[in-house]
Chain A
């Protein structure tokens, strides 16, 4: 595939608002996870909550999209000059030539959960202020982002659970390659809600203490929330020496089980191999991999087998979910942005919270930060339903 320019990007998570806060938290090895005080949730777990969302209403012109998820999206779009960069891109290519491909797993479901508490006691009807299209519907995020950025190209939500906002890079790559558009806003936004907190709890996949990916005593995930966006563009001229590029994408399906991967990690392996083939790179060309690394015993084991078999046991690897929590449908985009920061700043972020790496996993898991000039990095994202996606980013120079 031809490379695309990753011309601008931003992330907001429990680590903070924007790139500077994200980078400084990663450099300091600081976690954004804290004991869960969210809403009325009584689960004994830690979450990666973005502070202040309840006091950040949307502008009146966007009020029809009011919900926690779109408030988080708006906060994310407002960081690092991202909206201005999109505006420049729209001026360059035309508003109808910039697409929106964004991922979310639960969109504005929190508002629906709360509305169900306020149903009419006699008729059972939802309250009159309930917004289906603007908040509940999965597409609400893409409609909101398109409206907030005043774009007029194709817009869609990809909702494949925890691979959602990795797969948006693959779809955007195809749309730009096909010539439908010249640029795309890609990203992912997922926010805390009761469905995912109690749902993962029902599957006994939630850790009590902050999650410890790849630890020999790992015992589940910590749920987080995030908004992460990137602007992908067709290169107009030879990219600058320090330009960051999307080099390859790979997608596969496990065809195995709805909520657990095959133990041999064959679906993950297929996605990684496809991304390498798309980028025309040998495995040895990858300098670092940001693992999906959720912290559940079986997920990490399946991914480790795939990583060891494709990239070998020596490749520096880590999961940043100990810092951010598992941000579900936003994880792919958030970790793509972390990969871009890694390339730009020569930082291989160590996996925090993890104390003793599981020796059975056969992966070179970084416990502390390392500095090195990176040229090519991979990011893995896997979701329920056996949906796998691997991305490769690199520097032009």
Chain B
């Protein structure tokens, strides 16, 4: 095996939404243990940034993904229109998929055109462009349980190779039954990281990535550890914990069967 190869990027802004985690400032306080965290249903906000006709057409996964993306950009004072984006999700819009499969068992199989165009895995990416005017490259990834690490690797690679800031958005939501039984994701979770090639006054920390075979970092808090294991996008929690406390750390995120994604976190402040 060759020597591990390291890729680096600076975190400029963070967005977060999950069970009992309403946004990044409040979530960061909970992750640091300054405020208590208890499981509560994820609150998905309405979107003001889409035209009303488009807003009516979006499901919760799109609202979830866009809300964390907007939070990360607002924190960094960045303009979405100029940013490439990487969206990553394990299952996309499971509710929409379920409803399509139900209609296809009916006699007339009359699908709604909106439901069909919302079924693409890049729906969040598409609505992001419509909402923000972002015309740069936008990606839509899936790696099942490894979707967060795969997205982080893709985004940081793009930061390094194309020398550009990149917005990463990872999101997952619960399936309805009967899919929920075969893919029991309990609730919605989304995280966004604005990543940049150079340090700026807003930089929170530098991330250095490489592939590893060491086991993944687990969380000390039993409730958060359960959340990490239950929702693919929440596999980001060990990284978010370090970004909340801004302490130097070396951690490993769940990735593929024989692989972890090792992340060295070096605070900038």
Instruction: Give the residues from 134 to 167 in chain B that come closer than 8 angstroms, CB to CB, to chain A.
Output: 134-144, 146-147, 150, 153-154, 157-158, 160-162
Q: Are B177 and A199 in contact (CB under 8 A)?
A: no
Residues of A close to B27: CB separation below 8 A: none
**Chain A window 254-266, contacts with chain B (Cβ cutoff 8 Å), 1 for yes, 0 for no:** 1111110000000
Which of A113, A167, A180 interacts with B157 by CB under 8 Å? A180
**Chain A window 264-286, contacts with chain B (Cβ cutoff 8 Å), 1 for yes, 0 for no:** 00010010000000000000000
CA distance A155 to B144 in the complex (A): 11
Instruction: Give the residues from 382 to 397 in chain A that come closer than 8 angstroms, CB to CB, to chain B.
Output: 383-387
CA distance A126 to B92 in the complex (A): 20
B220 CB-CB contact with A under 8 Å: no
Number of interface residues of B (CB under 8 A): 67
Residues of B close to A383: CB separation below 8 A: 120, 122
CA distance A257 to B130 in the complex (A): 7
CA distance A293 to B19 in the complex (A): 45
Residues of B close to A200: CB separation below 8 A: 116
Q: Are B117 and A259 in contact (CB under 8 A)?
A: yes
Interface hit among B66-74, B106-114, B197-205, B245-253: B106-114
Which of A113, A174, A178, A258 interacts with B117 by CB under 8 Å? A258
**Nearest CB in chain A: distance from B142 CB, A:** 4
A124 CB-CB contact with B under 8 Å: yes
CA distance A195 to B112 in the complex (A): 11
Residues of B close to A156: CB separation below 8 A: 141-143, 150, 154
Q: Are A160 and B117 in contact (CB under 8 A)?
A: no
CA distance A158 to B161 in the complex (A): 19
Q: Are A97 and B2 in contact (CB under 8 A)?
A: yes
Q: Are B144 and A170 in contact (CB under 8 A)?
A: no
Q: Are B130 and A117 in contact (CB under 8 A)?
A: no
Q: Are A384 and B120 in contact (CB under 8 A)?
A: yes
Instruction: Give the residues from 145 to 167 in chain A that come closer than 8 angstroms, CB to CB, to chain B.
Output: 152, 154-161, 167
Which of A126, A180, A194 interacts with B5 by CB under 8 Å? A180
Q: Are A252 and B137 in contact (CB under 8 A)?
A: yes
Residues of B close to A385: CB separation below 8 A: 120, 122-123, 125-127, 129, 138, 140
Residues of A close to B211: CB separation below 8 A: 96, 154, 180
A374 CB-CB contact with B under 8 Å: no
Which of B105, B118, B181 interacts with A258 by CB under 8 Å? B118
Q: Are A160 and B100 in contact (CB under 8 A)?
A: no
Residues of A close to B116: CB separation below 8 A: 195, 198-200, 202-203
Q: Are B139 and A160 in contact (CB under 8 A)?
A: yes
B90 CB-CB contact with A under 8 Å: yes
Residues of B close to A386: CB separation below 8 A: 126, 129-130
A-B contact count (CB 8 A): 203
Residue of A whose beta carbon sits closest to that of B210: A180
**Nearest CB in chain B: distance from A242 CB, A:** 28
CA distance A178 to B84 in the complex (A): 17
Which of A117, A152, A258 interacts with B259 by CB under 8 Å? A152
Given contacts A253-B134, A258-B130, are A202 and B111 in contact (CB under 8 A)? yes
Residue of B whose beta carbon sits closest to that of A384: B120
A251 CB-CB contact with B under 8 Å: yes
CA distance A132 to B120 in the complex (A): 18
Which of A133, A201, A257, A267 interacts with B135 by CB under 8 Å? A267
**Nearest CB in chain B: distance from A4 CB, A:** 13
Q: Are A116 and B102 in contact (CB under 8 A)?
A: yes
Number of interface residues of A (CB under 8 A): 64
Q: Are A113 and B104 in contact (CB under 8 A)?
A: yes
Instruction: Give the residues from 182 to 241 in chain A that come closer than 8 angstroms, CB to CB, to chain B.
Output: 194-195, 198-203
Instruction: Give the residues from 92 to 113 in chain A that come closer than 8 angstroms, CB to CB, to chain B.
Output: 94, 96-97, 105, 109, 112-113
Given contacts A124-B177, A202-B110, A387-B122, are A155 and B256 in contact (CB under 8 A)? yes
B77 CB-CB contact with A under 8 Å: no
Q: Are A174 and B130 in contact (CB under 8 A)?
A: no
Which of B111, B132, B140 interacts with A199 by CB under 8 Å? B111
**Nearest CB in chain B: distance from A291 CB, A:** 21
Q: Are B141 and A253 in contact (CB under 8 A)?
A: no
CA distance A125 to B182 in the complex (A): 9
CA distance A319 to B161 in the complex (A): 32
B219 CB-CB contact with A under 8 Å: no
Q: Are B113 and A159 in contact (CB under 8 A)?
A: no
**Nearest CB in chain A: distance from B119 CB, A:** 6
**Nearest CB in chain B: distance from A191 CB, A:** 15
CA distance A203 to B111 in the complex (A): 9
Residue of A whose beta carbon sits closest to that of B89: A138
Given contacts A160-B120, A174-B161, A253-B125, are A125 and B181 in contact (CB under 8 A)? yes
Residues of A close to B46: CB separation below 8 A: none
Residues of A close to B101: CB separation below 8 A: 112-113, 116, 195
B41 CB-CB contact with A under 8 Å: no
**Nearest CB in chain B: distance from A112 CB, A:** 6
Q: What 9 A-B pairs have minimum CB-CB distances, sorted nearest first?
A: A385-B126, A199-B116, A159-B121, A251-B137, A255-B129, A138-B142, A139-B144, A160-B122, A259-B117
**A-B contacts besides A138-B142, A384-B117, 4 pairs, CB < 8 Å:** A160-B121, A178-B157, A194-B104, A387-B138
* Chain B contacts to A: CB under 8 angstroms: 1-2, 5, 7, 57, 81, 84, 90-92, 97, 100-102, 104-105, 109-113, 116-123, 125-127, 129-130, 132-144, 146-147, 150, 153-154, 157-158, 160-162, 177-179, 181-183, 211, 256, 258-259
Can you sample 28 A-B contacts with CB below 8 Å?
A94-B2, A116-B105, A132-B183, A133-B144, A154-B256, A154-B259, A155-B256, A156-B150, A159-B121, A161-B122, A171-B154, A175-B157, A178-B161, A195-B104, A195-B111, A198-B116, A202-B110, A251-B84, A252-B135, A253-B129, A258-B117, A258-B126, A258-B127, A259-B117, A267-B135, A386-B126, A386-B130, A387-B140
